């Protein structure tokens, strides 16, 4: 290769590698931000679903029975809650609802 071409290659390659490295770093940082947002959204949704289960529980456990359509709603809420990683107290609440007799 000619000296001019060699000098040009030696100057351009480091600039290209620096640009590619910078772009990769930016993409990684952006991905981490999105991942943190997703985790926050899941946690918030899980909290809202648990609150819905608590509300149903507070209303129907003292009555000693639960309407069938409300129990079906509780089933859907719990399945969504559980699929988002919810467990523990929410599961206990749901099991107490499942133990109630249903009425039409």
Transcribe 19-79 into DSSP letters: HHHHHHHHHHHHHHHHHHHHHHHHHHHHHHHHHHHHHHHHHHTTTT-EEHHHHHHHHHHHH
Q: What is the pTM of this model?
A: 0.70
Over residues 67-102, the pLDDT tens digits come to 999 999 999 999 999 999 888 889 999 999 999 999
Average pLDDT across the chain, whole number: 87
φ, ψ dihedrals at 66, nearest 5°:
-145, 135
Residue 36's pLDDT band, with cuts at 50, 70 and 90, is confident
pLDDT band at 1 (very low <50, low <70, confident <90, very high): low
Domain ranges of the chain: 3-103
């Amino acid at each position: 290769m000619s000296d001019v071409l060699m000098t040009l290659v030696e100057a351009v390659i480091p600039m290209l590698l620096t640009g590619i490295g910078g772009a990769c770093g930016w993409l990684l940082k952006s991905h981490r931000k999105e991942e943190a947002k997703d985790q926050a959204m899941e946690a918030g949704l899980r909290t809202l679903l648990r609150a819905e289960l608590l509300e149903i529980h507070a209303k129907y456990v003292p009555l000693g029975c639960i309407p069938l359509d409300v129990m079906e709603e509780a089933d859907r809420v719990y399945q969504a809650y559980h699929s988002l990683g919810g467990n523990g107290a929410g599961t206990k609440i749901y099991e107490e609802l499942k133990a109630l007799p249903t009425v039409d």
